[in-house]
Structure 1
Amino acid sequence: MTSYADRWEAAQVFDAQFAYATVKDLLAPRMAVYWTDLILSAVIGWSGFGLAVTFTPLHWLGIIGLAVSVLALYRGALFIHELVHFRSKAHTRSFGRGWNALIGFWLLIPYFMYEGHAEHHSKRLYGTRFDAEYLPFARLSRREMVRVAAAAVALPLFGPIRFGILAPVSWLVPATRERVYARASTIKIDLEYRGHPPKKSQRLSWFLQEFACFAIVWTLGVLIVLGHVPVLLLLCWYLLFVGVVSLNTLRLLGAHRYLGNDSDANIVLQMIDTINYPSSRIAGFFWGPIGLRLHALHHLVPSLPYHSFGKAHARLVAALPPDSAYRLTESPGLLAAVIDLWRAPRPLPGENPFTNAAILHDARKDAP
């Protein structure tokens, strides 16, 4: 097994500019691929959901429908991640509206709730308390891993509360608005993270997305109370959401080595704290779709579109030596990585989590 010290040492000589130059001709997103994939994911996912509602999750056809719905809509939901990385604002606007209409609104995760994802790639903020998508699990009690995994059963309640109650309250009582933005407007695993209010140019967009979710929550609620929509639909939606969140939580636990320690981390240090699963092609299709099984590659070249990941990875493997920092990000499988994270020796209070502080310091200073 590769030690942390080996990774830091390899980081000192890793040429990020060379890696970028190797794949820079692959950076243009092919929007026809994006739209086709998104639409197919939504059609298959909601068709499976309809099958589950029709036959109930107790019938074998309902079980199949629910499983298909979870897998397809999980894939579709992850396109929210791609939205943040489009370099063209026009692509973000048009694809974001389509994504909201097909998936985001109905799962009560409009894309404005992922605006802060750029902080997860910031040299200054990655792995710190200002990174909503990161907790240093390798340095924290294992209870934190259990807590994040167990949250899947409660998270379906967040959307109805956020958009059915908190949104209208914040419209009517402006004094509560700042707190709603700070505490309940970001997709996150760090519950202490505080989000940011929208910029002036974003206010209308955020409000319209909030209002759409508010309308869905209250319309479905009234229709269920009046008996026009079966309560079974709500149960199936709950099971769907739990399934999507559970898959995503498992992926997140295996996405990084989670050694962040509130210090600057350039793209090389982010990369070696992140994991690639090049051999998990079949399993990764289900738990890490749209390129997320090659997450270290994503942190190395954040603007690389998901449909180019396979070709980019092959180029880098061919161009870089076997002992390069990029190759040292590999793991044989998701469960193996999660087990390694669980078994990682927790440092004593005040102890540096890395095996060689000098190497870590040099890597931060010298890596591109």
Structure 2
Amino acid sequence: MDACSEHWVHDSKVALRDADVDYFRVSSWIYWRDFLVSIALAYTAAAVYLTAEAWSAYQIIAFPIAVFWLYRAGSLVHEVAHLGEHEMRAYKVAWNLIAGVMMLAPSPFFSAHHRDHHTHRLYGTKQDPEYIVNCFRRGNWTSMFGYALLVLAFPIIVTVRFIITPLTFLHPRLRTFVLTRCSSLMMNPYYVRRVSKADRRRITAVELLTCIRATLIPALVLLGINQWSRIPMLYSLGISVLLLNQLRLLADHHFESDGTKMTPSDHMHDSCNFTGRDFFTWLLYPFSIRFHALHHLFPSLPYHNLRAADQYLMQILPADSPYRDLQQPSWFAVARKTLATVDRSAGSRNPTAT
């Protein structure tokens, strides 16, 4: 792609950075409001679901409410990952203690690989941890069925991973292997995490707390404090939240990479902004993260300003700006293409995870 075709990316960045409104300013009260409201409603509904009489109206009604709000509260890990190292430290600690540890999804197990996903050098390659077609062959239903089985097993795999945390300290090589290959909340089998000394400290701090949380799940059942049904009930919550996230991942991008490094323009065109008002867009893209292409263009742009920033760019950019091509009408149109497209070249370079 020639240099001229890359200008629109630069022009879009200049236009937003030179705007009269500071779209990059983080509003801490919005972060706290969204987190506290989401977690309060999630845990209240989950408590009703877990304690109500089996198959009662209370339990049946509480379940989808709990899943919806747990998904929203958990989605804020994405915002934690994009905050600066010294930005809103109290918020990061609170989110991890109240949400991340309790949901077995602390942010140090997400932040590093998510930053790699945003790197032009890695985006769309086999080392992109979140490029979902690295995990199955598009259009190959056997491969996708294997991936679906992995998704179903993932909550169990994660729980066991945290329970056996003490064993990972038995040998330095084992510890290094676990940190680089088993400490990222994603399913790309090719991804190898880079771990610095600071990463080791951050991981260990939340890992030990999450180990206690994970161990308590079977321990309280064995001690007779909770009934055995608590385990499948927790699994039902976990897998439902995970399935919502997997549905979202099907349409964040078009997944048209050939496995090589992409230009910034191709990177942006491989990503989607959802401007429609369909049910799935509302359900799967909380906190305005539906503007995913804009987010990849400006990773540091706070989620609460994405909609306003998109509207500003649509007003100020030329009518023929390629930025306008990033807009998609609905989640379903992109997700259907992700599942159905037969990509033989992708099949040869991205063997199935199973």
TM over 0.5: yes
- Relative to 1, partners in 2 of residues 1:55 and 1:342: Cα closer, same or farther, differing over 3 Å? same
- When the two chains are superposed, the root-mean-square deviation of aligned CA atoms in Å is 2.5
* Matching residue's letter, 2:51: T
* Matching residue's letter, 1:244: V
> Is the counterpart of residue 157 in structure 1 residue 153 in structure 2?
no
Q: CA deviation at 1:265?
A: 2.3
- Relative to 1, partners in 2 of residues 1:36 and 1:191: Cα closer, same or farther, differing over 3 Å? same
3-state DSSP of counterpart to 2:238: helix
> Is the counterpart of residue 171 in structure 1 residue 169 in structure 2?
yes
Output the TM-score relative to the length of structure 2: 0.88
Q: Aligned partners of 1:183, 1:330: CA distance in 2, in Å?
A: 35
Q: CA deviation at 1:289?
A: 0.8
- Relative to 1, partners in 2 of residues 1:139 and 1:294: Cα closer, same or farther, differing over 3 Å? same
Deviations 1:249-280 (A, max 9, x none): 01001111111223222432211001111113
Aligned with residue 87 of structure 2, among 88, 91, 113: 91
Task: Judge conservation of contact 1:149–1:246 (CA < 8 Å) in 2.
Answer: no
Tell me whether 21-30 or 204-213 shows the greater mean CA deviation: 21-30
Task: Judge conservation of contact 2:8–2:321 (CA < 8 Å) in 1.
Answer: no
Matched ranges for 1:1-368 at <5 A: 12=5, 14-24=7-17, 25-56=22-53, 58-86=55-83, 88-91=84-87, 93-114=89-110, 115-136=112-133, 140-143=138-141, 144-165=143-164, 167-197=165-195, 199-280=196-277, 283-347=280-344
Q: Aligned partners of 2:92, 2:34: CA distance in 1, in Å?
A: 14
3-state DSSP of counterpart to 1:53: helix
3-state DSSP of counterpart to 2:339: helix
Q: Aligned partners of 1:224, 1:212: CA distance in 2, in Å?
A: 19
- Relative to 1, partners in 2 of residues 1:9 and 1:189: Cα closer, same or farther, differing over 3 Å? farther
3-state DSSP of counterpart to 2:286: coil
Deviations 1:159-205 (A, max 9, x none): 2211101x1111233331122112210122312212223x2223332
Q: Aligned partners of 1:178, 1:329: CA distance in 2, in Å?
A: 40
- Structure 2's unaligned 5+ residue stretches are 350-354
Q: CA deviation at 1:29?
A: 1.0
Q: Aligned partners of 1:261, 1:142: CA distance in 2, in Å?
A: 17
Output the TM-score relative to the length of structure 1: 0.85
3-state DSSP of counterpart to 1:107: coil
Q: CA deviation at 1:341?
A: 2.3
- Relative to 1, partners in 2 of residues 1:10 and 1:45: Cα closer, same or farther, differing over 3 Å? farther
Task: Judge conservation of contact 1:153–1:242 (CA < 8 Å) in 2.
Answer: yes
Q: Could you tell me the percent identity over the aligned residues?
A: 27
Deviations 1:70-101 (A, max 9, x none): 11111111111112212x32226332211111
* Matching residue's letter, 2:216: T
Deviations 1:134-168 (A, max 9, x none): 14479745344444344332111022211101x11
- Relative to 1, partners in 2 of residues 1:347 and 1:175: Cα closer, same or farther, differing over 3 Å? closer
Deviations 1:111-150 (A, max 9, x none): 1111221111111111111111114479745344444344
